[in-house]
Amino acid sequence: MMLETILILTCILVVVLGYTTINLLRKVEKLEEIIERYDFHLKELSTQIELSDVKLKEIDLKESFKSDDEIGWFFDQVKIIQESISKFKFPQS
C-alpha cells in the first residue's frame, strides 16, 4: 500500500513538473521572439539616427541656415534634438 501511494504521488509530481516546464518554455520562446523583433527595430532606428546625424553635420558645414534668423534658430533646435537622439544609438555588434 505504501509503495503504491509513493508511486502515485511521484507520477502526479512528474505530470505537474512536466506541465509547468512546457508552459514556461512556451512563454520564454514568445519572449525571445519579441526580443528579436525589438532588436531588429532598434538596429534600424540606430541606422536612421546615424544617417540623420551625418546629414545634419553635412548641412551644418555649409552654414546655409546662418543668414536667416528664424530658420537659423529652427536649425539650431534640430541640432540639439539630434544630439539628444544620438545618445540613444544602439551599439553595433
Q: Are 90 and 43 in contact (CB under 8 A)?
A: yes
How many whole angstroms separate alpha carbon 86 and alpha carbon 21? 42
Query: pLDDT tens-digit profile of 4-63?
Result: 999 999 999 999 999 999 999 999 999 999 999 999 988 888 888 888 888 888 887 877
Place of cell 534640430: 78
